[in-house]
Structure 1
Amino acid sequence: MKKIQLFIFAILLSSTSVFAQSDATKKADKHFAKFQFVDAIEAYNKLIEKGEGNAYIYSRLAEANYNIFSTVESEKWYAKAIEAGASEPEMLFKYSEMLKANGKYEASNVQMDKFASMRPADDRAVMYKANPEYLSKILDKGKKFNVQSLDLNSNMSDFGGTLQDGKLYITSSRNASRKNYGWNEEPFLDIYEYTVAEDGSYQAENLLDGKINTKYHEGIVSFTPDGKTMFFSRESFFENIYEKDSVSNTKYSVLHLFKAKKGSNGFSEVEALPINSQNYSIKNPTISQDGSIIYFASDMPGGFGKFDIYKATLDANGNVGTPVNMGQKVNTEGQEMFPYVSSNNTLYFSSTGHLGLGGMDVFYTKEIDGKLAPIRNVGIPINSNGDDFAFRMNEETGEGFVSSNREGGKGSDDIYAIKKLQPLCDVLIVGTVLDEKTGKPVSGALTTLVDANGNVLASKPANTDGKVEYIVECDTPTELKVTMEGYESNKVAVKGSNEEEVAVTVNLKPIEEIITPEQVVLNPIYFDFDKSNITARAAFELDNLVQVMNKYPDMVIQATSHTDFRGSKQYNQGLSERRAQTTIQYVISKGIDASRISASGRGETEPAVDCKPCTDQEHELNRRSQFFITSGGPKK
């Protein structure tokens, strides 16, 4: 069962609408419109057997199989639909998902490239183009959890896993007395309760009574910290709220949130939340550890994708405030669902929009300094090629649950017990920016955190105490770069290997200290071996020269570029001239008038160290640039 789509009753799939329906497809289309995908697949396949296959039928078969997570069949029919002329961007994205779910990562990337070229502004495309090697990065993290299937799983759909007051609560379609749901021909979902025995096993299965469970779908649960109020989702059919399609005569419900009070005889006083609407769904509730915030997923208007994650305040009486979207850092043009906030305020959620291993993956982030840390994939084996969702974990014990439709399970979805083996390791970087001369904090200095390849991870100004905070993954080599008007830019390397706080101090020299009567003295301007293009490291240093020249508008600079002795004299002369020219072009590009800077290449003719043979250090000293002041500058 594909939990990504399970509760999207109000959304009609539209990626195949470009192809016209016909009288021949009416029966199959009616099943499809009613979300009776098993019957729809059978009907469309009969048309194929009669030789009536076309792009429309192939597309419908692909979509129907996609919705029940029949990945091999879905992949096959997406391929045939595209071959027959279907080319909608969303179809290409789903095709890439199915390829990935079947372990065909290279082929998946081919389709993602096509998708990205058609929708370059789509945040899924942007993330993919920015991280083309994302799969290896996820897999290389290694195994941080142990995952074990629970004995209580049935041959139907079982998911969730919420512990409260010695009880385990799950959602399941195992109740054979319920009517089957046409989506996957399994019974409607109910909430079950188990008693946690002394040996940790789950005993005494109990179907919650009719005040909670109805003949319609009920979803996963969450509790206030005192355990006295339970929140859960339920189909709006229960409230006689639905939309009716005039053509297919199909009724479409949405999902609503409810709360129930715990009494001596279980849960009662069931009440719908006032944030519910007949126009959209609200589902997957979770309560913060202090009980002050409720998080949930919704497709309400104004979001970024199909389903987004929202939060709202929750007072002591259970009153819910106005929903607030968690923002574009969390939410994408795909689907974000199943939020969970742990005791250390880490937000875990599942998504199809962020870069993952296939289907829906579990991701996490944490709020710090009023902003969310980068979204990161939890990795294997929590995530698989299938849908992985409903993540819950006790941060103190490292134990919890995740649900998945991965291969090897008993039913269409199964619940897995998890145990954290290694930290989902985060390092809190606390940087302090100081004036090197006075020792006072430099408020407003722009700090930028970059990775080993020079890619910007985040940027923010230092506060009034000269401090900034960043969260990065453990064992991630980074540099904290700091710039400030009136100061020489500086940077420090930062790395942490455990969940810890790493404190670094970045001292800034007043810009005048790099000016001598003859030169502006910069740190070495590095070029890649045998290259003349400006690198990120070189640009960082040249920006100091630009700042000096902006401060002293009459200053004129003569730049010289030197090489080491490796290579012929003629080649080195040409190389140094190319480097000199790209250097002044960079400075000019920053707004400095071309008349104020000139450059010449000196090759190997003016070595700082006259050495033959030379050590690597001596070669580096010879491979330098210098910036001579020919006129202007500070008054003496």
Structure 2
Amino acid sequence: MKKLYIALSFVISTAGLQAQNTDTAKADKLYERYEFVSAAEQYTKLVDQGKADGYVYKQLADTYFNMFNTAEAAKWYAKAVETDQDAETYYRYAQMLKGNGQYEESNKQMRKFAAASPNDQRAKTFMENPNYIPKLMGKEKMYDITSLSVSSEKSDFGPVLNNNTLYFTSARNTSRKTYGWNDEPFLDIYTATYNTDGSINEATALTELNSQYHDGPVTLSADGNTMYFTSDSFRESSFERDRKNKLKLGKNNLFKATKNGDKWGNVQSLPFNSKEYSTSNPSLSHDGKTLYFSSDMPGSLGGVDIWKVAVNADGSYGTPENLGKRVNTEGNESFPFIAQDNQTLYFASAGKPGFGGYDVFKVKLNDSSEAVNLGKPVNSEKDDFSFSYDQEKNIGFFASNRSGMDNIYGANPLCGLEVLTVVTDSKTGKILSNAKVSILDDKNNVIATEMSNSKGEVGYNVECNKTFTIQASATGYESNTFAVAAVKTGTTTKVAAMLNPIAEIIKETQVVLNDVFFEFDKSNITREGAYELDKLVEAMKANPTMVIMVKAHTDNRGSDVYNMRLSDRRAKSSVQYILSKGIKKDRISGKGYGESEPKVNCGEGCTEAEHAENRRSEFIIVKK
């Protein structure tokens, strides 16, 4: 049922489709009337009678595609592609195979789609990473999910929590006539009480807003007194006539209602509605200034895109704006939900790489990062959509047809933390883009490394209650580390990574680094040692005439000969590392001095601290 709000209204394009012959006329007419259940029956009869050809197979496949019956759709697309090499047929076939978990075969059809339509962004994205499924499968789990008792035996979707009321859309009203698309009743808006223990009371229809047509999903203002909702354009007697098929073709439209006491009323159609295109699935920002919605209006990149429009203080609206390629594709994107931070957008996409059907993605609108697939278990091989998240209660909701019917699920976030690092010049405050930022766990293992964006930012999502370290480096600057303390609850921790210009470590006679550590009795460069030596590399690159002599020292424990040899190996290892970074041989040399030049001349009575001072490397400037 949610396809009414993902596809082009509850109408899909049938341009160019004519009854192939008198045998298909009855089935074609049902298809053109969007009565897909009955149309499938008629096309199947033609197959049983031996009257099927490529046209019938394609129509039958598309019929099941519109109902998202992946098994039947894939079965008939396999027949259709024998004679129909249209790019979109390959694409739909691939999506249905993916919906059945047949990823290898899906990839074969996607390659055919890419060959037939190489400039389609969906094709380009696939060819850049055709085997992305294993990576998605290995994605760290972000949520635990639960089936909610508020679901019925009919379609239920579009859940959104406002204060302690859960609003959602359902076809459970069995007193209503059925809709030919899928033989379910028309959609209505329902409410249920969300209790402090997480239970949800029995649902009640929102009778003052429900009409004889489709109604819902909805979005509400933060105070709960303003609602935007989807309904059919028939509500305002707005439609186009298809006289041939004796149809009135309506569109999904957006409406606004306000609460007066405990009742909703004052229903108004939004000014950018049209009988030429659909507008649906609204989501209002927490500050009430921006309304997000889905539409196939002119300017869309694909079938249905996600748009936004300004909500002005005087109640008027701006001009709708397409959210562009970071969100939208040549496929369908729908069900936007803007989080309470007014920046994090969740949405459903059938065009971006996913597990199958529609997957839920999220994207930060205030930076240039790519949309992120929420992974399993929120997403599955079927349709997963209409995700919403209540930050105050730390609970998400979404709908999925993974069980064969659109049902509502709860999504409980696993405790997560965003570590947002901002890299700047410590002296001027200048933002440093293209800085290298790594995040390390409590055992100093590098988890991930990224380059900072134009705002100097890199964000990492990590687990709560753990400590981390940020390493940041930039050309012309001294690299540095920054501790990230353990945080108990999911939030954003900001790290101010202020880097000193590399000139700060260049003194009169030497380049001053922190200790370059080696493992006990070894001379190989460790990761920690390499991190320090990288500072010397930066200094030498910034000063191309500089010549360095590496002097390695030990404490006085062990024999003189042993210490001399160990320190010499360590000095030469340091030199080799510097050379590996592109510094020429005539600019770097090294020698071990063992215990012959102690920094602290403490003899046999050295403390551990004094021994540590004597175990050192010095980077002497031979020539500036």
Q: Could you say which TM-score interval applies, normalised by the shorter chain?
A: 0.7 to 0.9
The verdict on how the C-alpha distance between 1:615 and 1:92 changes in structure 2, with shifts beyond 3 A counting, is farther
In the alignment, what sits opposite 1:251? 248
Tell me whether 315-324 or 230-239 shows the greater mean CA deviation: 315-324
The within-5 A match list for 1:320-331 is 320-331=317-328
Q: Displacement, 1:444? A: 7.8
The verdict on how the C-alpha distance between 1:114 and 1:339 changes in structure 2, with shifts beyond 3 A counting, is same
In the alignment, what sits opposite 1:85? 83
Distance 2:433 2:269 in 1: 50
CA contact under 8 A between 2:24 and 2:43: conserved in structure 1? Answer: yes
1:297 to 294, 299, 304: 294
The verdict on how the C-alpha distance between 1:37 and 1:448 changes in structure 2, with shifts beyond 3 A counting, is farther
The verdict on how the C-alpha distance between 1:326 and 1:315 changes in structure 2, with shifts beyond 3 A counting, is same
Amino acid at match of 2:408: I
In the alignment, what sits opposite 2:211? 214
CA contact under 8 A between 1:196 and 1:202: conserved in structure 2? Answer: yes
CA contact under 8 A between 2:156 and 2:170: conserved in structure 1? Answer: yes
In the alignment, what sits opposite 1:103? 101
Tell me whether 251-260 or 119-128 shows the greater mean CA deviation: 119-128
In the alignment, what sits opposite 2:520? none
State the secondary structure of the residue aligned to 1:203: coil
The within-5 A match list for 1:448-467 is 460-461=453-454
In the alignment, what sits opposite 1:24? 23
The verdict on how the C-alpha distance between 1:291 and 1:266 changes in structure 2, with shifts beyond 3 A counting, is same
**Are 2:42 and 1:43 aligned?**
yes
The verdict on how the C-alpha distance between 1:249 and 1:136 changes in structure 2, with shifts beyond 3 A counting, is same
State the secondary structure of the residue aligned to 1:120: coil
The within-5 A match list for 1:169-568 is 169-197=167-195, 200-209=198-207, 211-316=208-313, 318-345=315-342, 346-368=344-366, 371-407=367-403, 412-423=405-416, 425-433=417-425, 439-441=427-429, 447=435, 460-461=453-454, 468-474=456-462, 482=474, 488=476, 499-509=492-502
In the alignment, what sits opposite 1:34? 33
Q: Displacement, 1:297? A: 1.0
The verdict on how the C-alpha distance between 1:2 and 1:495 changes in structure 2, with shifts beyond 3 A counting, is farther
The verdict on how the C-alpha distance between 1:623 and 1:299 changes in structure 2, with shifts beyond 3 A counting, is closer
The verdict on how the C-alpha distance between 1:136 and 1:196 changes in structure 2, with shifts beyond 3 A counting, is same
Q: Displacement, 1:272? A: 0.9
Distance 1:29 1:271 in 2: 37
The verdict on how the C-alpha distance between 1:67 and 1:625 changes in structure 2, with shifts beyond 3 A counting, is same
Q: Displacement, 1:302? A: 0.8
In the alignment, what sits opposite 2:613? none
State the secondary structure of the residue aligned to 1:62: helix
The verdict on how the C-alpha distance between 1:461 and 1:70 changes in structure 2, with shifts beyond 3 A counting, is closer
Q: Displacement, 1:153? A: 1.6
State the secondary structure of the residue aligned to 2:203: strand
**Are 2:47 and 1:61 aligned?**
no
Q: Displacement, 1:252? A: 1.7
CA contact under 8 A between 1:428 and 1:500: conserved in structure 2? Answer: yes
CA contact under 8 A between 2:358 and 2:384: conserved in structure 1? Answer: yes
Q: Displacement, 1:244? A: 2.3
Deviation string, structure 1 residues 418-450 (Cα, Å, up to 9, x no partner): 211232x5331211135xxxx445568665779
State the secondary structure of the residue aligned to 1:170: strand
Deviation string, structure 1 residues 479-535 (Cα, Å, up to 9, x no partner): 87756xxxx58878999898532333445558xx9xxxxxxxxxxxxxxxxxxxxxx
Distance 2:233 2:411 in 1: 33
Distance 1:478 1:125 in 2: 36
CA contact under 8 A between 1:293 and 1:311: conserved in structure 2? Answer: yes
Amino acid at match of 2:394: G
CA contact under 8 A between 1:2 and 1:68: conserved in structure 2? Answer: no
- Structure 2: gaps (5+ residues): 440-444, 507-533, 546-566, 587-623
Distance 1:394 1:273 in 2: 26
Tell me whether 473-482 or 40-49 shows the greater mean CA deviation: 473-482
The verdict on how the C-alpha distance between 1:495 and 1:108 changes in structure 2, with shifts beyond 3 A counting, is farther
Distance 1:20 1:246 in 2: 16
Distance 1:495 1:28 in 2: 67
CA contact under 8 A between 2:356 and 2:380: conserved in structure 1? Answer: yes
Amino acid at match of 1:388: D
Distance 1:270 1:119 in 2: 44
Distance 1:282 1:296 in 2: 7
In the alignment, what sits opposite 1:115? 113
Distance 1:337 1:206 in 2: 26
In the alignment, what sits opposite 2:129? 131
Tell me whether 215-224 or 310-319 shows the greater mean CA deviation: 310-319
CA contact under 8 A between 1:19 and 1:55: conserved in structure 2? Answer: no
CA contact under 8 A between 2:7 and 2:303: conserved in structure 1? Answer: no
Tell me whether 139-148 or 381-390 shows the greater mean CA deviation: 139-148
Tell me whether 500-509 or 277-286 shows the greater mean CA deviation: 500-509
State the secondary structure of the residue aligned to 2:234: helix
The verdict on how the C-alpha distance between 1:502 and 1:263 changes in structure 2, with shifts beyond 3 A counting, is same
State the secondary structure of the residue aligned to 2:303: coil
CA contact under 8 A between 1:294 and 1:312: conserved in structure 2? Answer: yes
Amino acid at match of 1:8: L
State the secondary structure of the residue aligned to 1:40: helix
CA contact under 8 A between 2:8 and 2:303: conserved in structure 1? Answer: no
Distance 2:347 2:581 in 1: 50
Q: Displacement, 1:626? A: 5.5
Amino acid at match of 2:421: I
Q: Displacement, 1:352? A: 0.9
Amino acid at match of 1:59: K
Distance 2:128 2:493 in 1: 28
- Structure 1: gaps (5+ residues): 463-467, 514-539, 556-608, 630-635
Cα RMSD for the two superposed structures: 4.1
In the alignment, what sits opposite 2:8? 8
| Aligned positions, number | 527
Distance 2:397 2:428 in 1: 49
Q: Displacement, 1:624? A: 7.3
Amino acid at match of 1:433: D
CA contact under 8 A between 1:373 and 1:471: conserved in structure 2? Answer: no
Amino acid at match of 2:71: V
State the secondary structure of the residue aligned to 1:94: helix
CA contact under 8 A between 1:4 and 1:360: conserved in structure 2? Answer: no
In the alignment, what sits opposite 2:138? 140
Deviation string, structure 1 residues 248-275 (Cα, Å, up to 9, x no partner): 3333211111111212351111111112
Amino acid at match of 1:169: Y
Q: Displacement, 1:131? A: 3.0
Distance 1:125 1:479 in 2: 37
State the secondary structure of the residue aligned to 1:333: coil
Amino acid at match of 2:152: S
CA contact under 8 A between 2:145 and 2:410: conserved in structure 1? Answer: yes
TM-score by length of 1: 0.73
Distance 2:450 2:121 in 1: 17
Amino acid at match of 1:255: N
The verdict on how the C-alpha distance between 1:509 and 1:461 changes in structure 2, with shifts beyond 3 A counting, is farther
Q: Displacement, 1:85? A: 1.7
CA contact under 8 A between 2:432 and 2:452: conserved in structure 1? Answer: no
The verdict on how the C-alpha distance between 1:480 and 1:34 changes in structure 2, with shifts beyond 3 A counting, is farther
**Are 2:51 and 1:52 aligned?**
yes
State the secondary structure of the residue aligned to 1:28: helix
State the secondary structure of the residue aligned to 2:381: coil
Deviation string, structure 1 residues 109-156 (Cα, Å, up to 9, x no partner): 222222223333322222223333422222212432221222222211
